[in-house]
Amino acid sequence: MSHQVSVWRAAQLVGVARGVLQQQVRDGTLVLSDGLVSTDALLRLYPGAKLEESGLLERVAQIRDEAFGRRVRERMLPSQEVLAQRLFAQSQELADVRKHLQRYHGLVIALQQRIRELAAKRPGDATWQALEQQVTQGLAQALATESVDLLEVMDDMLKVMSAQVTVRPSGHEFSVEGRATLLQSGLQAGLKLNYGCGNGSCGMCKVRVISGEVVKTQHFDYALSEAEKTQGYTLMCCNTAASSELTLELLEASGPLDIPEQHIVAQVRAVTAQAPDTRLLHLQTPRTHRLRFLAGQSVSLGWTMPGQGDAHASYPIASCPCDDRNLLFFISRDASDALARHLFAGDIQAGAAVRVLGPTGEFVLADGHRPLVFAACDGGFAPIKSLIEHALSLDAAPSLSLFWLATGSDGHFFSNQCRAWSEALDQFEFELVSHADVAVGARQIARAMRADLFDIDCDFYLAGPAGFISTLHEELRAAGVATAQIVTQVL
């Protein structure tokens, strides 16, 4: 019998990006019924889908391997309490199914016996004999062993290993794996959640549980009122999903205007040379004061050296909002930038305090399911990297393409990350371009887009110097791309 699952769950079962299935729905290859996908239809599209290739068995094997230790077990599996609760819920469901089957079986046997009694009273009437034969054959077919729906088995395993969370009113979905909290899991899935401290003190991540069960993972100081408790409110940062399916009611940020300005004192975790004139600055925020931002946004960094005054400058964040404590920045050597001068001089070392003010900027991903094309020039790779990582968390785009122009000697200072994305992800491809002139390089990228994958029905994100942005923007507009589908960030 066919099993019905959501598009989000279907993508997990067959191991493809959710955006790929959504594209198949739009072009009619995959048909939805009440918003759900039939496992029969999935297996017709992906006949090679096997449990061994889904990653589920590998995950179970890893858990059994003691070499991975307690940390791996905690990452892979929920706590014993949560695991027992999910298994108990599935056992209840199985018991209910068996109870109904026994009742139906009893009804059929009683009907069969009644038909025999009526047939005995009319031995010459072939109608009763034919009816009895039909009932007997039908019962035999129902009791016969049917082939197992592989995707249904995989879905049942997923329900034990992880929980599926649906958000209302947006309809967004995400999974909770291991011992992650609801907040951690939602951020890792790319949701623009409302939160503050992340440790149960401020109450900004308060949500209402519409259906399903949650369990507390840590103590929190924020006091919920009795009315809130009665209505099912809880804190995302201090709870995880206890049941296999959970529905939450919460508000999500719709754009940059919904993200408040924050002032945080972070600590330098590391300064790493990426190239002679490029440094990777890694800042870490306090556990109780994380930076809430959208991918592609920027912040102002400030640093004070005794006797030399303040040094500050604005930089795009090069990391994903899903890891809100660890902030990455690519800093280029610039004599006019006081903070950069101190950084390259070695004055800013690990452990130094750096003020973070922000976020600012509207260079963020728009909602949608079109293929995404990114173009960066030199340090414009920083916000583009953030956008790509966020897009990968969302898993909604059918494909992602990156074109990166390098005009200086530092070249493509983070190209290894591009190769890693390309090797790990079927839907990601990239091309590296080098030219000293930004306008010429932009036209080369435009030609590469047309030659390799150009499709005007994409969303384009461009980041770099003004000459690069204006030239590439003109090329795209001349090719028929709508202005609304081109988002730019001049650096």
Q: What is the pTM of this model?
A: 0.78
- Are 145 and 241 found together in one domain? no
Beta strands in 198-321 (DSSP E): 206-211, 214-216, 233-235, 239-241, 245-249, 262-275, 278-284, 298-305, 309-316
**C-alpha–C-alpha distance, residues 55 and 42, integer Å:** 17
Residue 127: CA count within 13 A, CB half-sphere: 4
CATH (domain of 427):
3.40.50.80
Any domain includes 365: no
- Among 229, 253, 277, residue at a domain's last position: 253
Any domain includes 367: no
- Are 68 and 43 found together in one domain? yes
- Are 267 and 238 found together in one domain? no
* Residues 6 or more apart whose Cβ sits within 8 Å of residue 153: 51
CATH (domain of 187):
3.10.20.30
For the residues of 193-214, what is the DSSP string, one character each?
Answer: B--SSSSSSS-TTEEEEEES-E
- Are 274 and 207 found together in one domain? no
CB atoms within 10 A of CB 446: 21
**C-alpha–C-alpha distance, residues 187 and 174, integer Å:** 9
- Are 462 and 378 found together in one domain? yes
- Are 229 and 335 found together in one domain? no
Any domain includes 442: yes
- Are 167 and 214 found together in one domain? yes
312 touches 329 (CB < 8 A): no
Any domain includes 336: yes
424 touches 453 (CB < 8 A): no
Which structural domain, as residue segments, surrounds residue 138? Answer: 82-154
- Are 419 and 483 found together in one domain? yes
- Are 34 and 69 found together in one domain? yes
Q: pLDDT tens, position by position, for the chain (491 residues)?
A: 567 777 777 877 777 777 778 778 777 788 877 777 888 888 888 876 654 444 444 444 444 444 444 544 555 667 777 777 777 777 777 777 777 777 877 777 888 788 778 777 777 777 777 777 777 777 676 666 556 566 666 666 666 678 899 999 999 999 898 888 999 999 988 999 999 888 888 899 999 999 999 999 888 889 999 999 999 999 999 999 988 899 999 989 989 999 999 999 999 999 999 999 999 999 999 988 899 999 999 999 999 877 777 889 999 999 999 888 999 999 999 999 999 999 999 999 999 999 999 999 999 999 888 899 999 999 999 999 999 999 998 888 888 999 999 999 999 999 999 999 999 888 899 999 999 999 999 999 999 988 765 567 899 999 999 999 999 999 999 988 999 999 999 99
Residue 395: CA count within 13 A, CB half-sphere: 19
CATH (domain of 302):
2.40.30.10
* CA dist list (Å): 217 to 25, 181, 392: 38, 7, 27
Per the structure, the count of domains in the chain is 5
Any domain includes 366: no
> Tens digit of pLDDT for each residue in 311-324?
899 999 999 998 88
**pLDDT value at position 49?**
63
- Are 248 and 302 found together in one domain? no
- Are 249 and 276 found together in one domain? no
- Among 253, 280, 305, residue at a domain's last position: 253
For 357, the token pair is 């003010």
- Among 79, 112, 135, residue at a domain's last position: 79
- Output DSSP code: residue 339: H
- Are 248 and 324 found together in one domain? no
Any domain includes 22: yes
416 touches 387 (CB < 8 A): no
* Rg of the chain over all Cα atoms, to the nearest angstrom: 28
Any domain includes 247: yes
